[in-house]
């Protein structure tokens, strides 16, 4: 059964300059994480900008280079689903000196 997407504070991360923005969804017994979309922004042109989703420890299931300042959005239809009883980690790479990155996700369990 899919739960409706409800935004919470665990769906947004806005760290200090030149720090990776990370959302970590812990494993839930008999459930899997599903993302309906990811939004991000960099305050300036990033050095090595990248958006990555991992299903569990180190298994990359989505990766996208981000080369410009400003906002971006990736919708997932159908949702990007992880494996049952596995953590999901969304990482917006550190943008470089003086660049702040933010990441938001639409998340549910099924």
- Give tens-digit pLDDT for 32-91: 999 999 999 999 999 999 999 999 878 999 999 999 999 999 999 999 999 999 999 999
Number of structural domains (the chain) is: 1
Instruction: Supply the pTM of this predicted model.
Output: 0.92
Residue 1 lies in a domain: no
Read off the DSSP letter of residue 58. Answer: S
Quickly state the pLDDT bin for 7 (edges 50, 70, 90).
Answer: low
In a domain, 3, yes or no: no
Q: CATH code at 58?
A: 2.60.120.260
Dig out the tokens for 70 from the structure. Answer: 């400003």
Beta strands in the chain (DSSP E): 12-13, 21-25, 33-42, 50-55, 60-65, 70-81, 88-92, 101-109
Q: What is the extent of the structural domain holding 24?
A: 15-109
Q: Residue 43 contacts by C-beta under 8 Å, 6 or more apart in sequence?
A: 17, 69, 95, 98, 99, 100, 101
Does residue 27 form part of some domain?
yes
Tell whether the model's pLDDT for residue 1 goes beyond 50.
no
Question: Is residue 9 a part of any domain in this protein?
Answer: no
- In the numeric block, which tokens belong to residue 54? 């991992």
């Amino acid at each position: 059964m899919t739960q409706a997407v409800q935004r919470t504070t665990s769906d947004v991360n806005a760290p200090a300059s030149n720090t990776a923005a990370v959302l970590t969804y812990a494993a839930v017994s008999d459930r899997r994480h599903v993302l309906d979309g990811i939004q991000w922004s960099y305050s300036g042109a990033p050095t090595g900008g990248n958006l990555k989703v991992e299903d569990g420890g180190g298994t990359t299931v989505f990766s996208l280079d981000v080369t410009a300042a400003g906002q971006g959005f990736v919708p997932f239809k159908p949702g990007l689903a992880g494996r049952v009883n596995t953590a999901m980690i969304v990482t917006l790479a550190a943008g470089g000196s003086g660049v702040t990155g933010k990441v938001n996700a639409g998340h549910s369990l099924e």
